Structure formats: C-alpha cells, structure tokens
Amino acid sequence: MGDTMITSVPRALLTLLLSALAPLLAQANDFDYRLAPRMIANDVYALIGTTEDFSFANGGNIVNSGFIVGPSGVIVIDTGSSRRYGEQLLAAIATITDKPIALTINTHHHPDHFLGNQAFPPDTLAATPETIHGIRTEGEGFSANMYRLNGDWMLGSEVVVPAKTLAAGRIRVAGRDLEFLPLAGHTASDLVVIDHDSGTVFAADLIFNRRAPTTPHADIPRWLAALDTLEAIPAKRWVPGHGEVSEDTAPIRHTRAYLEWLADTITRGAEAGLDMTEMLAMPIPEAFADMNLAASEFRRSVTHLYPAAEQAALKR
C-alpha cells in the first residue's frame, strides 16, 4: 500500500501540472502572438502587449506597437520583439487595410521595439540617428539575450538596422499630419510620434502604464524633463510603450512619481553609505505596489543606477 501511495501521488501532481501548463505549452508550440489591433481613433490602431517580463510563454509580447492608416499608406510604430512578431503584425495590418507600408518607425533601440524589422520593407525602416547607432552597436547583443529569454519564438530573428533617419518636425506622411518629437531619458533617444489628425500621441517607453519602468539606459533627470514636455501636449489619448492606452495624463504623472521616488531613494541610499545588498532590500511604497513587476524592476534599477550614485556621493 505504501508503494502504491508513493507512485500515485507524483502521477496526480504531474497530471495537475500538465493541465495547468497546457494552455501555455499550446501557445508556445504554435508561436502565435494572437495580435489583435484595437482601433483607438479613426484609422489609428494599437496592439497592447502584456505587462509581464520576457518569457518562454509570452515570446516577448510585452510591448505596445501601433499603426496609422493614411489615405495613401500605413505608418507603423515599432515592429515588436522578433521576426515572428513583425510578420504577424504585418498580417494583422492586412486584416484592416491593403494599403502599402509607407513608413516603419523604431522609437528607440530596445529589442522589443525593433526585432520585427525583418518583416517590413527595408526602405520604409526609419529612426533617429541615435537610435540607428544604438541598434547598430548593441543590436546583436540584445538579440542574443532575447533568444535566451524567449527561446524558439526568436528563431530566424536578425538585427535589421533602419537606413532612413528621422528628425524633429511636423510632416505629412501617407496623407497623415504627423509630428516627430525626439526626446530622451529612457534611452539616449526616445522618439514620440504625434498624429495630429486624431490627437494621438505614441509616447513609446517614456510612459509606462501600471508597469514599472525599465532603466538599463536611463538618465532620470532627462526622463523627467521629457515627461514635462509630454504633459504639455494637448492630446486626446496617449499610447505608452507598455500598458493600456489612456485618455488622460495619469500614466505620465504616475511614471514621473515613480522615477522621482527611485532617484531619491538611490541618492539617499548612496549618501547614507548603504551597500548594494541593503539597497536591494528596500521596500516598495504602497503608491507603486500596484505596478506590475515593481519589486523586480526596482532591483534591476539598483544594479543599473546605484554604482554611479555611489561614485557621485563619494565625490561630494
């Protein structure tokens, strides 16, 4: 009887585990991002990713991408985290319109925003000079890391560097009244795309909505200045880089409050002489407890930003 119980319990547990994992395994096996364009304004669409971290289950579908259908073509904002994402984004666009791709924008050089470039016509790929430089110099390293984080979802994904440069200014593209606003802070170059025809602002990763901001290339003072610029834009809706679309500036204010707390916490810790272990153990305030991944992103931010804060405190 004892032997029977020893062998039957693991079988029951295995069955339970397989049942729980079945939906994730099915999604991973078919490599379908299940991209669903949502019309957020007339001829303006957003595809909203999860507010999770990269994983084998989601394949890197943690990013928001979007597209605008103009009278003569389509403007794409960010191509996603893999070749598959880019291909499925292109297929999703085709369910809405048969107009050609006129412009494909990479808002910044983080991999979830450009590794779908392969799927789009090369002569439509565009970014700021700083973003092009970042993709060229850091893209291969990002790509290798994405393979490690997302597994086979990444098969066939390669770095494609945009050849077309974008500059600040208001311009008509495919019949749409667009404005390119290069800011910085999340990275060295964060391009904001404003569609004046609909009052929609694609703010990329300068705004995170109910998801803790990532900071591997962050310059927090510049980021806070960029948020001030964004909040002054008379927009009808905001598409963040991660999280839900908003019709008010609450995500801007929340992102600002988090970054101010983060900068203050790191500065005060460095000036108090706390070591890295003590910093990593700092609690997350209640005001940010509802942000997805707040604890893990705070720990990452400490590893990114604390050494420089220690050096600055020593100089003072």
How much is the pLDDT for 19?
53
Q: Which pLDDT band holds residue 109 (cuts at 50, 70, 90)? A: very high
Mean pLDDT calculated for residue range 101-125: 98
pLDDT > 60? residue 16: no
pLDDT above 80: residue 53: yes
At 142, the pLDDT band (50, 70, 90 cuts) reads very high
Q: Where are the domains of the chain?
A: 30-251
Q: What percent of the chain has pLDDT over 90?
A: 89
Burial of 298 (0-12, 13-18, 19+ CB in 10 A): buried
pLDDT-derived band of residue 289, with 50, 70 and 90 as boundaries?
Answer: confident
Among 98-102, 238-242, 289-293, where is mean pLDDT lowest?
289-293
pLDDT at site 30: 86
Give per-residue pLDDT as tens, 154-188. 999 999 999 999 999 999 999 999 999 999 999 99
Task: Tell me which of 3.60.15.10, 3.90.1150.10, 3.40.50.300, 3.20.10.10 is the CATH number of domain 30-251.
Answer: 3.60.15.10
- What is residue 210's DSSP assignment? S
User: pLDDT category, 23, cuts 50, 70, 90?
Assistant: low
Over range 266-278, report the average pLDDT. Answer: 96
The mean predicted confidence, pLDDT, of the chain is 93
